[in-house]
Amino acid sequence: MKQSYILSIAAIFAFFTSLIAQAGVTTDSHGNVGYDTAAECDAAVLSGNAKFYQSFTKKPALVRNGEKTVRIMTLRDAGYPNGACDIGVGHKAGRDGVSPALQGKYIPFSPDMLVNVYSNAAGEAVRISMKQCDNWFSDNKPRAVEFVRNEPQTHEEVNKEATTVITPVIATVAPPCCCCGEKIGC
């Protein structure tokens, strides 16, 4: 009984999460999507409904001042195990941005997307760009998909986040006896 109750709650949560994820969706002419808020983008990724961005231009990596090396890796390997939901930007420093329809929208990027990871002389990663097009993210590095913390950290958070599962108890009461009116067998 308790397991089916939990599964029902999970199904309802998944349904509403998918509705929220579709609430503010914008699609460009290439089929790429963007969301009005970071929360909507994160929800789409978490629910498995995200359509990840696909680059449609090609440009080689361009090392800038302060950058010494560039390595190609996936977003996952660059420290984004669940990908990124980053705000789309336009043309910046000699590189194109996302299509105008997606500029200012939060775009889901797959953890398997190939990226250029630029490092300084000390070997520290200082910038990440999309590998195929060398387009910038909104900053030197993209915004990671954010998850709700599983474990509360303080006593107050434990009390605030505690939930109680109430299992209804149905009491069975014997009907009154038809001949004497008492609640015992006749």
The helix (run of H) or strand (run of E) holding residue 38 is helix 38-47
Is 165 a domain residue?
no
d(CA 108, CA 143): 10
pLDDT (tens digit, 9 = 90+) per residue, 38-92?
999 999 999 999 999 999 889 999 999 999 999 999 999 999 999 999 999 998 8
d(CA 146, CA 42): 6
Is 167 a domain residue?
no
Whole-structure pTM value: 0.67
Average pLDDT over residues 135-144: 94
Return the exposure string of 8-43: e unless at least 16 CB atoms fall within 10 Å of the residue's CB, then b.
Answer: eeeeeeeeebeebbeeebbebeeebbbbeeebbbbb
Is 89 a domain residue?
yes
Is 157 a domain residue?
no
Q: What is the pLDDT of residue 162?
A: 44
Is 169 a domain residue?
no
Is 153 a domain residue?
no
Is 21 a domain residue?
yes
> Crossing angle, helix 2-22 and helix 38-47, to 10 degrees?
130
d(CA 25, CA 55): 18
pLDDT (tens digit, 9 = 90+) per residue, 87-139?
999 988 888 889 999 999 999 999 999 999 999 999 999 999 999 999 989 99
Give the number of domains in the chain.
Answer: 1
Q: What is the pLDDT of residue 7?
A: 45
d(CA 122, CA 114): 23
- The structure tokens 């030197």 sit at 140
d(CA 5, CA 112): 35
Task: Kindly tell me if the per-residue pLDDT of 173 is higher than 80.
Answer: no
Q: What is the pLDDT of residue 93?
A: 82
Q: Which domain holds residue 11?
A: 2-147
Is 168 a domain residue?
no
Q: Which two tokens stand for residue 185?
A: 């067998």
Q: What is the pLDDT of residue 90?
A: 92
Please report the DSSP string for 75-90 in residue order.
Answer: TTTTT-TT-EEEEB--
Confidence band for 164, pLDDT divided at 50, 70 and 90? very low
Average pLDDT over residues 178-185: 58
Q: What is the pLDDT of residue 11?
A: 47
CB 39 within 8 Å of CB 99: no
HSE of 34, CA atoms in CB hemisphere, 13 A: 19
